[in-house]
Amino acid sequence: MAGEPQSDCLFCKIVAGEVPATLVRETETTLAFRDINPQAPTHVLVIPRLHYPDAASLAAAAPTVAADVLREAGEVAAQEKVDGSGYRIVLNTGAGAGQTVFHAHAHVLGGRGLNWPPG
């Protein structure tokens, strides 16, 4: 159920401290940690502490938490010093878009050129 921890969710386990992660920032509603398979020099995931399967369900059910995720993505970019050179926030929704962990999350990518369109 949305908003409830899921026993089979990797990111819920990270929030609970059951799976280690390299934390970058945390707030009352969000957690930010380094991606284990980085696609750029800066690649940090920002997740809501509560479980929502994707960005669309998070935005529909908890718009203030969705805003917190985006705000923290900006804070991560500033902390990682990529805010001046540019960074990308990616929210993959659904397997066809490349989502592999079905807990809403934003990728913060920076530190290299990010071409358009993404491939």
Known catalytic residues are 105
Strands ordered across the beta sheet of 23-26: 23-26, 30-34, 42-48, 106-110, 87-90
| CA pair distance 22, 32, nearest whole angstrom | 9
Q: Decide if 12 contacts 103 (C-beta within 8 A).
A: yes
Residue with tokens 């050129």: 113
Q: Is 42 helix (H, G, I), strand (E, B) or coil?
A: strand
| CA pair distance 7, 47, nearest whole angstrom | 16
